[in-house]
Structure 1
Amino acid sequence: HSPEIVAVVADALKKYEPSFVVLDPVMVATSGDRLITPQTQEHIVGTLFPLATIVTPNLDELSWLIGTTVDSWTQFEESAKALHAMGAKNVLVKGGHMKSPNLMDMLVEFTTRPNAQDAIAITEIVKPRIHTQNLHGTHGTGCTLSSAIACFLALGYPLKAAVKGAQDYVYQAISAAVAMRIGNGHGPVNHSFSPQSMHLQ
């Protein structure tokens, strides 16, 4: 990422005005290393947040964005509100990095009302954590999830249903890769666990 790349993406979104935009910040690597500069982060927040239908940070990214460590379920809602104050229309807080027997995510939808506080709808998504044969867990879940949300939105699903459908897809893709070992690092996501024939209309 760089401020220049962020500007190019923002210009394209403004030009083509897509019906929806799913923004996965991709600011922090699985190792915990930062992938962008503070200047780039400012550009993402200032130019892309207002254009996105939903922002999908993990806990590391969320912590960097709001400037305080987020490591508890009780912090999810307030953290999402903090991102909303920065321009995010809706927020999916991904809690997969949290040390818990369950995978705990929270979708926070905001509805702007004239001359009043924004209405908030909260959806809690909790699933049992999947334990794989890979020592370092599974890699690629976040980008798969954001892509799946975009696919469900493209199929006409409302946001809540799109997020839930995407969550189910990723969960099954992780489950289908439990026994897969490729190398000694992070394990894969089995995107093709249930191939289907394409139907032309």
Structure 2
Amino acid sequence: MMHYVKTLTIAGSDSGGGAGIQADIKTMSALGCYASSVVTAVTAQNTKQVFCIQNIETAVVEAQLRAVLTDLRPDAIKIGMVGCAENIKTIAQVLAEYNDIPLVIDPVMVSTSGNKLMEEEAISTFCQHLLPMATVLTPNIAEAEVLAHRTIATVADIDEAAEEILKLGCKALLIKGGHIEGSTKTDRLYFSDNSKPLIFESETIDSFNTHGTGCTLSSAIAAFLARGLRLEEAVAMAKNYISQAIREGANVCIGGGHGAVNHFFCPEKLIKR
């Protein structure tokens, strides 16, 4: 009997469809994976702003998670926004029973529009209980500053922040560097074994439709890990995918603000094996 390559996303719902669970499922599906989901929060948002956020009750989050894991058993898991401490603890406790599954964690703390998405108590709980379980953690500069308790303004700052974050226990760390070095976007992949970091550079694409790029990148990494690629390969492939998705969605009007990337610029059929 053949099986689909399966992925699971644990994140918040974006009513505008550009980020969160919606972006994750689109990405995983476009890359040939059967995507399941655990909704941690419901947000009311569009391309312009976030209007409200409602965290899902912990018992409901746990029920969703156990329902998926005991039946579908994904080949890789991605975690995005988990806004409250109790949900973080519960997710960590359940996933500890499935620690052989690759885990990509995107520490979503602040939206691109500036809305706070994680409570203060939740940040310390996240660092203690969930972060150490990550196969790879994918913070942007702002999130890395929170996790490392330092300001980042230079490449040297990124290296020092990475050293501090890796002490928290994750196996690898992809810091999305943005424009610190100029017009080229540079991401750095660090490893807990202190091996030399890998540098991923990409051209800057002129687009207003960049909502959900972090969700899309981390979901793409999870999809490629589920397909059996090594982490370095998965990150490289995911970087190529997000660049093309931004490029293909650059000249499309979705709403009055920042729209989503084009997740389905070249969709693959569900992969069987």
TM-score normalised according to structure 1 size? 0.88
Q: Show the counterpart of 1:130.
A: 205
Q: How many residues align?
A: 191
Q: Show the counterpart of 1:35.
A: 117
Deviation at 1:145, TM superposition (A): 0.6
**1:97 to 1:138, Cα distance in 2 relative to 1, 3 A:** farther
Share of identical aligned residues, percent?
A: 37
Instruction: Determine if the alignment matches structure 1 residue 180 to structure 2 residue 255.
Output: no
- One-letter identity of the residue aligned with 2:143: E
Q: Show the counterpart of 1:191.
A: 263
- Secondary structure in structure 1 of the residue aligned to 2:192: strand
Structure 1 distance, partners of 2:145, 2:160, is 12
Structure 1 distance, partners of 2:87, 2:163, is 27
Q: Show the counterpart of 2:226.
A: 154
Maintained 8 Å contact 1:139/1:186? yes
Maintained 8 Å contact 1:102/1:129? yes
Deviation at 1:199, TM superposition (A): 5.2
Q: Please tell me the root mean square deviation across aligned C-alpha atoms, in Å.
A: 1.7
Instruction: Determine if the alignment matches structure 1 residue 61 to structure 2 residue 136.
Output: no
Instruction: Determine if the alignment matches structure 1 residue 72 to structure 2 residue 154.
Output: yes
2:186 to 85, 98, 104: 104
Q: Deviations over 1:50-90 (max 9, x none)?
A: 11111100111111111222132232222111101122221
| Higher RCO structure (Cα 8 Å, ≥6 apart) | 2
Deviation at 1:178, TM superposition (A): 1.0
Deviation at 1:157, TM superposition (A): 0.7
- Secondary structure in structure 2 of the residue aligned to 1:62: helix
Structure 2 distance, partners of 1:99, 1:75, is 12
**1:47 to 1:123, Cα distance in 2 relative to 1, 3 A:** same
Q: Show the counterpart of 2:35.
A: none
Q: Show the counterpart of 1:114.
A: none
Maintained 8 Å contact 2:170/2:192? no
Q: Deviations over 1:14-66 (max 9, x none)?
A: 12224210010101111233321221000110001111111100111111111
Q: Show the counterpart of 2:56.
A: none
1:14 to 96, 108, 113: 96
Structure 2 distance, partners of 1:65, 1:188, is 27
Structure 2 distance, partners of 1:67, 1:7, is 22
Q: Show the counterpart of 1:165.
A: 237
Q: Show the counterpart of 2:164.
A: 82
- Secondary structure in structure 1 of the residue aligned to 2:196: strand
Maintained 8 Å contact 2:150/2:161? no
Deviation at 1:97, TM superposition (A): 6.2
Structure 2 distance, partners of 1:199, 1:54, is 23
- Secondary structure in structure 2 of the residue aligned to 1:120: coil
Structure 2 distance, partners of 1:200, 1:22, is 22
Q: Show the counterpart of 2:60.
A: none
1:44 to 122, 126, 135: 126
**1:169 to 1:39, Cα distance in 2 relative to 1, 3 A:** same
- One-letter identity of the residue aligned with 1:144: T
Structure 2 distance, partners of 1:108, 1:33, is 28
- Secondary structure in structure 2 of the residue aligned to 1:50: helix
TM-score normalised according to structure 2 size? 0.66
Q: Deviations over 1:75-131 (max 9, x none)?
A: 2222111101122221000123648311111001122xxxxxxx3221111111000
- One-letter identity of the residue aligned with 1:121: K
